[in-house]
Structure 1
Amino acid sequence: MRDTAARVRTGTNPKPRSADGGDARIHVTLPHLRSFESKARSLSFLPRQPARSVLNGRHASRLRGRGLNFEELRDYLPGDDIRSIDWKVTARTGTPHVRVYTEERDRPTLLVVDQRMSMFFGSVLNMKAVTAAETAALIAYRILGQDDRLGGVVFGDERIAEIRPERSRRALNRFLTALADLNRLLRADAANVAPIPMNQVLRSVARIAPRNHLIVILSDFDEIDDETSRLISGIARRNDLIIGLVTDPFADNMPPNQRLVVSDGVLQAEVNTVDRTQHTSLREMAHGRLAEVLDWQRRYGMPVLPVSAAEETLPQLRRLMGLAPS
């Protein structure tokens, strides 16, 4: 079930302005996303994380960084490092052979960003869609600054934008433009439509990034099922996968005496939280989805980072990376 009251913000903070003068808590613009370029330099999504980083330790073990790729097996030559001798082949052939490796210099990054209607919700500070877009912009600028290839998949209720990984500012601009365009389509008076399923998006991700990519998925993971877990598992086996679980505290602080409208994208129903049974059921549904996604960390050995729409984006990313406040 899609988040309740997805078209209403209840925060009372002063309205921050985006680069073009709009309310940056509700929608992002291309100038606003570009404003994160200088702020991204302090972040890192590669190994050698600080001890406080959630990417450090056992959950980060699959973030390999740049390694070595096998290139050829050849006869031993004077001056070769003895540690590179392949003793099994040497014993089988009777002549010394060495394995030659080259440094892995390229690992493309694919940023997958949810801009469906379930993300058009915020009870404290930002809409979840805004937090996801800002997080993606920060990561995109950091990745391009490391001279790695960058691509993306941005998806809304009715459209998927695919940007193949390239080592160019053109790819970055296409990605940010897709983010701003799809975010702008989120409106309180938008027609109810059946959203693109997460599983369809994950199949596209598996096709674009079959192996050896760094993949970051930013979503609230609305409408997930067993097939979602299977697809996530397959992507994680062949790539380095980081999940950015975008959350809002509304489920924990759900008002007990209100009538709320919930929707699956086609049908709508009213939920009366005065009814304790309905109130409890709605909270348990939200908590169950959260627990399922968090459990992927244990089951598939990948980091799951909770990113809250109730906080400013950059400070919490720095905290998740174990960095000092800026």
Structure 2
Amino acid sequence: MPPPIAGAGTARAEVVLARLQLLVTRKLDGLLQGDYAGLLPGPGSEAGESREYRPGDDVRRMDWPVTARTTMPHVRRTVADRELETWMAIDLSASLDFGTARYLKSDLVLAAATAMAHLTVRGGNRIGAVVGTGSGLTVRSERASFWKRRRKTVEQPPEQAPVVRLPARPGRKEAQGLLRAIARTEIRPGRADLGELIDMLNRPPRRRGVAVVVSDFLAPVESWSRPVRKLGVRHDVLAIEVVDPRELELPDVGVLTLADPETGVLHEVHTGDASLRARYAEAAGQQRGEIARALRAAGAAHLRLRTDTDWLLDMVRFVAAQRHARTRGTTR
């Protein structure tokens, strides 16, 4: 994958998206063929495969010809034949404009959006998005110790972070336009309100579909956990967490001066201190565990993409595992 993509120029964004779509098509094509079991309410109306009867199955769906041939009770599965609507909440806060490995985190945001568009846009399905970035506040940088509390140097009162709503439309051409709009979004200083961004997927109320949240989830868990739970009441929710390895552990490289991309505050860190590195790794592990627990409690599927691994391979494995989990033992 090329260097930074979010906020790239028009020509560059077109080249990046073309390469991304080619990669995604080669690896993911065919993984989402079949029915929408688990994505839409009701059993559907189109006949599917037969399977053996299980206690609790609706006897009105008994497949009598197969039952007669096999002498074992069978029921006929049905598949939903309505189009699917997918909405994405794309977080492009300043913390996403960071990366110390193969990609920036913002690279993975667009990669994940491209993969979801490819997987869901077909047969009249529609996809839309809400994109949030920082408020563009000017902050005063200062030197601070590693353990000093952050975000106390904002010189002006908070303002509403800009949010772009891209309406859901069917067709690959419209999906490509949506991806271009995401790629051209300028990442501004500050943090998007992730809770508000997610809550926008509930307004106005929509029929049941798929909701995808792409973020690093570094905002306080209590600010976004309730909107995710609310979203999961009506929709199938997929949370794509974008992570850089330096957010999980620090290398021993001496004294570092780190800048918070969302506030501009500087932190001087002595990475040669083994106890500090251990505390950092422990705190990072607790933070990621809290994020995972909040998403699990909301009933959201959770996919973690790292900037130092093959994101496409991780995506392929995740999609295959989800398909297996949805089709194994289903009674639809």
Report the Cα distance in structure 2 between the residues aligned to 1:43 and 1:293, rounded to whole angstroms.
31
Equivalent residue, structure 2, for 1:164: 167
Is the alpha carbon distance of 1:103 and 1:145 closer, same or farther for their aligned partners in structure 2, counting shifts above 3 Å? Answer: closer
Give the drift of 1:174: 3.0
User: What CA distance in whole angstroms lies between the structure 1 residues aligned with 2:107 and 2:182?
Assistant: 10
Taking a change above 3 Å as real, the CA distance of residues 144 and 209 of structure 1, as seen in their structure-2 partners, is farther
Match of residue 48 from structure 2: none
Q: Which residue of 2 aligns with 1:317?
A: 315
Is it true that 1:177 corresponds to 2:180 in the alignment? yes
Q: 1:30 to 1:313 in 2, by over 3 A?
A: farther
Tell me the secondary structure at the aligned position of residue 320 of structure 2: coil
Does residue 94 of structure 2 align to residue 117 of structure 1?
yes
Alignment of 1:1-326 (within 5 A): 24-27=2-5, 29-38=13-22, 39-40=24-25, 41-42=28-29, 44=31, 63-65=38-40, 67-68=42-43, 83=60, 105-158=82-135, 159-182=162-185, 185-186=186-187, 193-208=189-204, 210-256=206-252, 257-263=254-260, 265-272=262-269, 273-275=271-273, 278-322=276-320
Partners of 2:103 and 2:227 lie apart in 1 by: 29
How far is 1:124 from its partner?
A: 1.4
Give the C-alpha shift of residue 196 in structure 1.
Answer: 1.9
Question: Is the contact between residue 256 and residue 268 of structure 2 (CA under 8 Å) also seen in structure 1?
Answer: yes
- CA deviations 1:230-262 (Å, max 9, x no partner) are 111111111100111111211344123232324
**Runs of at least 5 residues in structure 2 that lack an aligned partner in the other structure:** 7-12, 46-58, 62-77, 136-161, 322-332
Q: Which blocks of at least 5 consecutive residues in structure 1 are unaligned? A: 1-15, 17-23, 50-61, 71-81, 85-100
* 1:28-62 superposed Cα distances (whole Å, 9 cap, x missing partner): 5233213333433526458889xxxxxxxxxxxx9
Moved more, 310-319 or 38-47: 38-47
Within 2, Cα distance between the matches of 1:231 and 1:150? 20
Question: 1:239/1:45 Cα in 2 relative to 1: closer, same or farther (>3 Å)?
Answer: farther
Distance between the aligned counterparts of 1:303 and 1:313, measured in 2? 17
Moved more, 138-147 or 304-313: 138-147
Structure 1 length-normalised TM: 0.67
**TM-score with structure 2 setting the length:** 0.66
Aligned residues between the structures: 255
CA distance in 2, matches of 1:260, 1:210: 47
Distance 2:250 2:96 in 1: 17
Output the amino acid matched with 1:34: A
Shift of 1:278: 4.8
Deviation at 1:146, TM superposition (A): 4.4
How much does 1:267 deviate? 4.8
Shift of 1:103: 5.0
Contact 1:47/1:64 (<8 A) preserved? no
Tell me, in whole angstroms, the C-alpha distance in 1 between the residues paired with 2:261 and 2:20: 33
Q: Distance in 1 between matches of 2:224 and 2:301?
A: 17
CA distance in 2, matches of 1:110, 1:166: 10
Alignment partners' CA distance in 1, 2:19 and 2:41: 29
Out of 159-168 and 277-286, give the one that drifted further.
Answer: 277-286
Q: Could you tell me how far apart the structure 1 residues matched to 2:294 and 2:81 are?
A: 28
Tell me the secondary structure at the aligned position of residue 322 of structure 1.
Answer: helix
Report the Cα distance in structure 2 between the residues aligned to 1:34 and 1:153, rounded to whole angstroms: 22
Deviates more, 1:238-247 or 1:304-313: 304-313
CA contact (8 A) 1:161 1:178 kept: no
Amino acid at match of 1:119: L
Whether contact under 8 Å (1:271, 1:278) holds in the other structure is no
CA positional deviation for 1:210: 4.2
**Counterpart of 2:88 in 1: which secondary structure?**
strand
Task: Assess, with a 3 A threshold, how the Cα gap between structure 1 residues 291 and 209 changes in structure 2: closer, same or farther.
Answer: farther
**% identity of equivalent residues:** 17
User: What secondary structure, in the 3-state scheme, does the structure 2 residue paired with 1:195 have?
Assistant: coil
Superposed displacement of residue 102, structure 1: 11
